[in-house]
Amino acid sequence: MGAPSFMFSTLLLLLQLLFASLPHHRTLTYAADGSWQLLQKSIGISAMHMQLLRNDRVIMFDRTDFGPSNLSLPNRKCRNDPTDTALQVDCTAHSVEYDVFSNKFRALTVQTDVWCSSGAIMPDGNLFQTGGFNDSERRVRGFSPCRTCDWNEIPNGLTAKRWYASTHILPDGRQIIVGSRGQFNYEFIPKNIVANKINLPFLSETNDKGIENNLYPFVFLNVDGNLFIFANNRAILFDYVNNIVVKKYPMIPGGEPRSYPSTGSAVLLPLKNLIAAAIEAEVLECGGAPKGSYIQSLKGTFLAALDTCARIKITDPNSKWVMETMPLARVMGDMILLPNGNVLLINGAGSGTAGWEQGRDPVMSPVLYRPNNDISSRFEVQNPTTIPRMYHSTVALLRDGRVLVGGSNPHAFYNFTGVLFPTELSLEAFSPAYLDAKFDNLRPTIIAPKSMSGIRYQKKYTIQVAINSDKVDESSVSVTMFAPAFNTHSFSMNQRLLVLRSDKVTAVGNSTYNVEATTPRSGNVAPSGFYLLFVVHQGIPSQGIWVRLR
Ligand SMILES: *[C@@H]1O[C@H](CO)[C@@H](O)[C@H](O)[C@H]1NC(C)=O
Ligand SMILES: *[C@@H]1O[C@H](CO)[C@@H](O)[C@H](O)[C@H]1NC(C)=O
Ligand SMILES: *[C@@H]1O[C@H](CO)[C@@H](O)[C@H](O)[C@H]1NC(C)=O
Ligand SMILES: *[C@@H]1O[C@H](CO)[C@@H](O)[C@H](O)[C@H]1NC(C)=O
């Protein structure tokens, strides 16, 4: 053909030569997988906190003390606070309920400042949000899933002030709330009758003077009933019943901080063999900011984020961190478990730290991590978004397998112009590659039941699925259960994926199979409450159904 195409191929050749001559630090695997969809240009608030409820609605909120949002409150239920320095009578919403399947949202009313708070779903499916800033420091807020419900505020629901604390649901149905700015202790809701505020010296030991680096600690319920608590660059195994440190884990090699504001992220990797006497549990932590990053960013120097992950078997008598290198460095990223047992790293920045105006170089591409692959082939870079999701961005796994992404506000106000990264009011969905139509022939569809309201521990259940394939057996099918997380500040509290033993797969007719699976052995492995149950065939998950484990 003509000259333009010749010129184009010459240019391509030159580009290839140029790139071939650059040093390669990392192996980048551009699988060009996954796709993005803009769901809402604006929901009126910036989704700084997110929680999926059992009615497929996601509760979101930002803060109340930084001026009017872009969403009015119905019935003018204004918030009247004479000490608010930004706006004393605020008739706008700072919380919304987003309905996943109708893609609609409605304004909710919060009366005090939910900023940088925590939360967890109780076994009955009600959300309890805990703490916040200023007039909300000791608040507990309840939210029951229903079409017209709104927040129910409980003043003095907490014993201590909780701002930047982490919450975990416990096997006995209570919540534990760990840490906070200036609080080196933990407490429970409902409250202990005697002494509800209990000291935890580990939190003062991990507090870097003036910078902290130990806020929003990564708290996971270990399968032995103790809590794995990570702050800054190290962790303990903690018996919260007797207030005893059972074990001190080694420092992550290199000793770089991983907790707020050097914000990395962490997950408890999928739990398997859930009725075995000895279940293994592993934690994976990725990214963060190197020492000094916070101070440097205040002076206008934005240090590169950490590009390492650290993985540890927390149930091992001699636990050791094993280091891995990510294809993209990331601070303020989120880690979310996918129904097929992979981990998605998403959102965040390539340099700087958490804090107002302190992050740079948004990381637009999510990265998939396959925990069961050989250590040399676990990471895979996914297709990028076009919207930077920096400080105060959020994520939630949905029942249909999509990943809801929102928020991002690195400013002390709602700032839409004249700033590097405008306050984001939009919502997007990232669809991992397993949702591609090319996998439709592998995809299971759960026929029955449509939900399960009372599944018990260590019992067999049968799920009927349709799969357009005549080679379906125990080795290609698994059943997983996902505990929806409270996500904020790069941490998904209470996130858990259980891989159930699938005992038997029986063909019962035209592309229809009965899959038998056994539930976990106890509440230490899986606290009672609502889970999303998925059937996974050759790595491709079905849509989930809601089940209640009790
Ligand atoms: C939010 O509202 C302001 C003021 O009305 C407007 O200028 C801005 O465009 C809105 N932003 C978004 C993202 O909707
Ligand atoms: C909240 O902040 C305002 C403004 O700084 C202050 O006047 C007020 O005392 C604070 N309220 C509480 C309960 O801390
Ligand atoms: C951000 O918004 C606040 C409140 O509207 C305003 O005072 C401030 O000047 C804005 N900042 C920028 C950089 O525009
Ligand atoms: C078998 O199932 C497929 C879809 O799962 C359906 O299209 C087809 O009509 C069914 N055939 C019979 C004989 O039932």
3-state secondary structure 505-538: EEEEECCEEEEEEECCCCCCCCCCEEEEEEEEEC
Domain 35-435 has CATH 2.130.10.80: yes
- The residue whose CB lies within 8 Å of the most ligand 4 atoms, and thus the one to mutate among 470, 510, 537, 542, is 510
How high does pLDDT run on average in the chain? 94
pTM: 0.93
Q: Which atom of ligand 3 is nearest to the CA of 414?
A: 2
Quote the ligand 4 centre to 513 CA distance (angstroms): 13
Q: Is the predicted pLDDT of residue 4 greater than 90, yes or no?
A: no
The response to whether residue 40 sits with its C-beta less than 6 Å from ligand 1 reads: no
Which sequence spans correspond to the domains of the chain?
35-435, 440-549
Q: How do residues 162-173 score in pLDDT, each as one tens digit?
A: 999 999 999 999
Least confident among 166-175, 415-424, 500-509:
500-509
The per-residue DSSP string of 8-40 comes to: HHHHHHHHHHHHHHS--SS---B----EEEEEE
**141, 129 in Cβ contact below 8 A?**
yes
Three-point CA angle 71, 75, 79, nearest 5°? 65
User: Does the pLDDT at position 102 exceed 70?
Assistant: yes
70 C-alpha to center of ligand 1: Å? Answer: 6
Measured distance between the N- and C-terminal CA atoms of the chain, rounded to whole angstroms: 69
What are the phi and psi torsion angles at 379 (to 5°)?
-95, 145
Measure the CA–CA gap between 226 and 121, rounded to whole angstroms. Answer: 19
Distance 86 CA to ligand 3 centre (A): 11
CATH topology identical between 35-435 and 440-549: no
Q: Is 425 in the pocket of ligand 1 (CB under 6 A)?
A: yes
What pLDDT, on the 0 to 100 scale, is given for residue 31? 55
Q: What is the pLDDT of residues 424-458, one digit of tens each?
A: 999 999 999 999 999 999 999 999 999 999 999 99
Over pLDDT 90: what percentage of the chain? 90
Q: What's the gap in Å between 451 CA and the centre of ligand 4?
A: 24
Statement: residue 528 has pLDDT above 60: yes
> pLDDT class for 6, splitting at 50, 70, 90?
very low
Span 367-409, pLDDT tens digits: 999 999 999 999 999 999 999 999 999 999 999 999 999 999 9
Q: Which CATH superfamily is domain 440-549 in?
A: Immunoglobulins (2.60.40.10)
3-state helix, strand, coil in the chain (%, to 5): 10, 40, 55
Query: In this predicted model, which residue has the larger pLDDT, 485 or 18?
Result: 485
Q: Is the pLDDT of residue 471 over 90?
A: no
- Interval 182-199: pLDDT, tens: 999 999 999 998 899 999
Residue 249 above 80 pLDDT?
yes
In DSSP terms, 106 is beta-bridged to 97
Q: Is the pLDDT of residue 2 over 50?
A: no
Residue 25 is predicted with a pLDDT of: 38
